Homo-oligomer: A and B are copies of this chain.
Amino acid sequence: LQLVDIGEAGLLTQLFGFCDRTLVGDDAAVLPWLAGRSPVVTTDVLVDGVHFSDRTTPPHAIGWRAIAANLSDLAAMGAEPIAVTVGLSLPGTVAIDWVEALYGGMADCLAQFGGVIAGGDVTRSPVAVVAITAIGALETDSSRTIRRDVAQAGDVIVVTGNHGAARAGLAWLLDDWPGQSPDPANPEIIAWIAAHQYPRPRFDAIAQLDRLRREVFDQGGVDRPIAGMDSSDGLADAVVQLARASGLAARLDRLPIPPGLAAAVGSERAIDWTLYGGEDFELVLCLPPELADRWVQAVGGAAQVIGVMVDRTDSEPIAAWQSAPGHWSALTQAQGFQHFAVESSIAQP
Contacts and interface: CB of A to CB of B under 8 A. Distances in A.
B87 A87 contact: yes
B45 A40 contact: no
A178 B76 CA distance: 56
Interface string A263-280: 000000000000000000
Contacts of A118: 41
Contact of A339 (B45, B49, B124, B127): B124
Given A40-B30, A77-B26, A120-B43, A129 B125 contact: yes
A49 B42 CA distance: 27
A126 B49 contact: yes
Interface residues on A, range: 35 or more
A87 B45 contact: yes
A136 to B, nearest CB: 7
A134 B39 CA distance: 12
Interface stretch (A6-14, A54-62, A158-166, A299-307): A6-14
Contact of A40 (B3, B31, B126, B145): B31
A42 B133 CA distance: 10
Contacts of A147: 26
Given A29-B40, A245-B25, A47 B135 contact: no
Contacts of A333: 9
Interface string A117-159: 0111111111101010111101010000101110000000000
Nearest to A125: B47
B77 A28 contact: yes
Nearest to A90: B340
